[in-house]
Amino acid sequence: MIRGSIKVDTKICKGCELCIIACPQDVLALSVNFNDKGYRYVELISSACTGCINCALVCPEAAITVYREPKPAKKTQAKV
Amino acid sequence: MEKEIRKEEPRLMKGNEALAEAAIRANIDAYFGYPITPQSEVIEYLMLEVPKRKDKETVVLQAESEVASINMVYGAAGAGARVMTSSSSPGISLMQEGISYIASAQLPCLIVNVVRGGPGLGTIQPSQSDYFQATKGGGHGDYHLIVLAPSSVQELADFVFDAFKLAEKYRNPAMILADGALGQMMEKVVLPADNSFPKVAKPWATTGKTKDRERNIITSLFIQPEVMEKVNLELQEKYAAMQSEVRWEEFNTDDAEVLLVAFGLSARICQKVMDLGRAKGIKIGLLRPITLYPFPYKRIAELSEKVEFILDVEMNAGQMVEDVRLAVEGKIPVHFTGRMGGMILSPEEILHKIESIHESLTTANV
């Protein structure tokens, strides 16, 4: 399983929850904290993120950046 | 809006930003405001964009408070400027004194209320609980605002032009009554063309006395009651004339058995309810008042002859429903469903309500 992570621009997140609905892994939730405008921004609540980028695609504010762990290098290369 | 001026590509914009951009394109002379969620993007956008437009002479100023901003609007409007302000519910409450003064002095201006849940400081989520405040006066004295209720980002932009046109025609403050969701919503919008809205002559404005006329005085203070009554009669005459500007939108009302009445965002939700209901065989129609003042009493009265019952849907405890009941005059039942405090109704919730009313009606008939 590919592991991923997200970074939310908390300043522009408006807590619309679209990403929470879009997330197949159910690893997103609204924070208990607020941003400058008073919105509860979204945050990652577990390490089960696969980096599928669904959240970033639906985000109307483009506030989510998705990171994926690089794939492990193939072992066949070591034989040479 | 005429077709020929829509030459631009559609853009994806936030409601507040579309409104601000439309204001720039309407060549406003001044904007005075004070930030408050959920409409802070209006002043943010204006502050960023106006300095880039070298052809514009717009003043954008963050006042020290909402009270200061509405009084700056009063001053600018008196001097003949095309001027606007925007705020959200608690801020609009602070402005009420100034709005009453502006209405009394008969000055055109635009006030945008991006409503959030109340009462009190409330919440920052969308609500429609400022209907009474917007349509029945809000401040002291016998006055009304022209109130337009957009239900999309497109209308938020278009109504800036419409509101200024009406305000300048009747020399009366106009209000755009949106809500927190519309302000924050990202949607496709085709902006009205730049410079497509010429300035109108304002011979009453205090721009300095010329030899050929008496001096202009802008005031809302009339010490003699006889004079004050005369001003009031003038205002009432104006409000009577304004009734011809009433606007509304109808969906599937030809064969409707159930009529939904909703404005703004609620009307968008009701469109979905209508589709869901019609798929189940319930003939639902929808009437959306676009102008909340003047209110389409006459059309609702006409439709009440044809439908079984009316369901009024609002994001408040039931405010517009009072006007709907006035229009219906007890001829058919008028039901209400709504949520408060920043919660948004779901289409299923509304449909369930319609079905339960339907059921109670049929069992009552048996």
- Find the helix packing angle between B225-242 and B89-104, rounded to 10°: 110
Which residues does chain A have within 8 Å of residue B40's beta carbon, measured at their own beta carbons? 37
Handedness of CA B165, B167, B170, B175 (dihedral sign): positive
B214 domain residue, yes or no = no
In tens, the pLDDT along B104-147 reads 999 999 999 999 998 999 999 999 999 999 999 899 999 999 99
In tens, the pLDDT along B243-265 reads 999 999 999 999 999 999 999 99
B206 domain residue, yes or no = no
B289 shares its domain with B239: no
The Cα A2–Cα B48 span in angstroms is: 41
Domain boundary at B183, B210, B244, which? B244
Angle, CA B348 vertex, CA B344 and CA B350 arms, to 5°: 70
B110 shares its domain with B71: yes
Range of the domain at A16: 4-70
Angle, CA B324 vertex, CA B352 and CA B301 arms, to 5°: 110
Q: Tell me which chain B residue has its CA closest to the CA of residue A62.
A: B186
B41 shares its domain with B170: yes
B interface residues, A as partner, C-beta within 8 Å = 37-38, 40, 124, 184-186
A76 domain residue, yes or no = no
In tens, the pLDDT along B192-218 reads 999 999 999 999 999 999 898 899 999
B240 shares its domain with B256: no
B13-33 mean pLDDT: 96
**Best interface-test mutation with B: which of A11, A30, A37 has the largest number of B CBs within 10 A?**
A37
The Cα B286–Cα B297 span in angstroms is: 15
State the total domains in chain B.
2
Range of the domain at B90: 3-201+219-244
Which three-class secondary structure string do you get for B126-157?
ECCCCHHHHHCCCCCCCCCCEEECCCCHHHHH
Give me the count of residues in chain B: 366
B145 domain residue, yes or no = yes
**Predicted structure pTM score:** 0.92
In tens, the pLDDT along B37-94 reads 999 999 999 999 999 999 999 999 999 999 999 999 999 999 999 999 999 999 999 9
Q: What CATH number does the domain containing B349 carry? A: 3.40.50.920
pLDDT band at B9 (very low <50, low <70, confident <90, very high): confident
pLDDT band at B361 (very low <50, low <70, confident <90, very high): confident
A78 domain residue, yes or no = no
pLDDT of residue A80: 53
pLDDT of residue A79: 56
Counts for chain A of helices (H) and strands (E), in that order: 2, 4
CA distances from B325 to B16, B154, B258, B336 (A): 33, 30, 15, 10
A11 domain residue, yes or no = yes
* CB-defined contacts A:B, below 8 A: 13
B207 domain residue, yes or no = no
The ipTM estimated for the assembled molecules is 0.82
B226 shares its domain with B257: no
pLDDT of residue B50: 96
B51 shares its domain with B156: yes
Handedness of CA B14, B30, B291, B350 (dihedral sign): positive
pLDDT of residue B5: 54
B159 domain residue, yes or no = yes
A42 domain residue, yes or no = yes
pLDDT of residue A75: 64
Query: Among the residues of A1-80, which ranges form H helices?
Result: 18-22, 54-58
Q: Tell me which chain A residue has its CA closest to the CA of residue B40.
A: A37
Q: Tell me which chain B residue has its CA closest to the CA of residue A58.
A: B186
Would you say residue A78 has pLDDT above 60?
no
Q: Are B274 and B260 in contact (CB under 8 A)?
A: yes
Q: What CATH number does the domain containing A65 carry? A: 3.30.70.20
Gap from B125 CA to chain A (nearest CA, Å): 9
B46 shares its domain with B60: yes
The Cα B155–Cα B279 span in angstroms is: 28
**Best interface-test mutation with B: which of A11, A12, A13, A14 has the largest number of B CBs within 10 A?**
A14
Instruction: Answer yes or no: do A14 and B40 touch at CB < 8 A.
Output: no
B124 shares its domain with B191: yes
Computed over every residue of chain B, the mean pLDDT equals: 94
The Cα B91–Cα B113 span in angstroms is: 9
State the total domains in chain A.
1
pLDDT band at B296 (very low <50, low <70, confident <90, very high): very high
**Best interface-test mutation with A: which of B124, B188, B344, B346 has the largest number of A CBs within 10 A?**
B124
The Cα B119–Cα B130 span in angstroms is: 9
Would you say residue B228 has pLDDT above 90?
yes
